[in-house]
Amino acid sequence: MRKTYTLAGIALLMAACGNNEKTYDATGVFEATETTVFAEQSGALLTFSVEEGDIIDANKEVGIIDTTQTWLKIQQLAATKRVYQSQKPDLERQIAATRQQLAKARQDEQRYRELVADGAAPSKMLDDASNQVKVLQKQLDAQVSTLNTQLSTLDSQLSTADVQIAQLNDQLRKCHIVTPTKGTVLEKYVERGEFVAVGKPLFKIGDTEEMYLRAYVTSGQLQHIKLGQQVKLFADYGDEKRKEYGGTISWISARSEFTPKTILTDDERADLVYAVKIAFKNDGYVKIGMYGEVVFSE
């Protein structure tokens, strides 16, 4: 009888082992790329149309921080630019009179030169005419130099105002809260009407379409996997309910991890594991934090 019981026990043990045979190569948790959106300007949150669970497209405006003071500064600088522009001298008009006097003096100089050459006028008259030409030329040069200095100064002031306006326009743009990527709102940290400061987190968004499973494999399994490899994923819903997905190995860790211990012996080599990421396209049923399984080969 003992022999019979022994054989029966072995049979039950083998059956139990057969039922507990793993149907997967590794397990892990489903994750998504998460992005926290921060306030880039300080002020009251005038509008904020974000709710947890919302699916939002990329580059969509979801809120506005008070822009009044920034807009008023832009208007003030625009008025200052108009003042600078009106102060710019008309170079040709302001030197026209001196230029005309110089042209007349040169004509007189030439006429006296001819008269002196013919002996019809004293040389002193030619000297006086030549001196008048030199004086007017210096006056013209001084006027041109002064007017160019004024123009240069005003152009510099206009350029400075343009830079300041560009800075304010950038601040104005940052008052508009825009989603950086398409995804699902995972967490919301503020409400409409609150005062927010630069760097304050506003909400967290996650890409729940292009998700991945973070699993761990042993060093022995590394020889059977590679980047770009097509694998099978299974989302575990409990009660032996699973849903299959096709995935691609997108990342393999270059460093091993193991349960922290003071000493690592040869017998504990099997505890060394490597993290891998398997990317897949979610159909909306897989949630962040769910457990999953992966099969690397048939």
Higher pLDDT, 237 or 20: 237
pLDDT at 297: 78
Q: In terms of Cα–Cα distance, which of 227, 286, 275, 215 is closest to 25?
A: 215
DSSP the chain: -HHHHHHHHHHHHHHHHHHT--S-SEEEEEE--EEEEE-SS-EEEEEE---TT-EE-TT-EEEEE--HHHHHHHHHHHHHHHHHHHH---HHHHHHHHHHHHHHHHHHHHHHHHHHHHTSS-HHHHHHHHHHHHHHHHHHHHHHHHHHHHHHHHHHHHHHHHHHHHHHHHHHHHTEEE-SS-EEEEEE---TT-EE-TT-EEEEEE-SSEEEEEEEEETTTGGG--TT-EEEEEEE-STT-EEEEEEEEEEEEEEEE----S---GGGGGG-EEEEEEEEE--S---TT-EEEEE---
* pLDDT, tens digit (0-9, with 9 covering 90-100), for 58-95: 999 999 999 999 999 999 999 999 999 999 888 888 88
Angle at 84 between CA 78 and CA 86, to 5 degrees: 105
pLDDT at 286: 94
**Residue type at 183?**
G
Residue 92 falls in which region: left (phi positive, over 0), alpha (psi -120 to 50) or beta:
alpha
Indicate if the pLDDT at residue 235 is higher than 70.
yes
Strand partners, 284: none
pLDDT at 31: 96
Rounded to two decimals, what is the model's pTM? 0.70
How many whole angstroms separate alpha carbon 41 and alpha carbon 66? Answer: 9
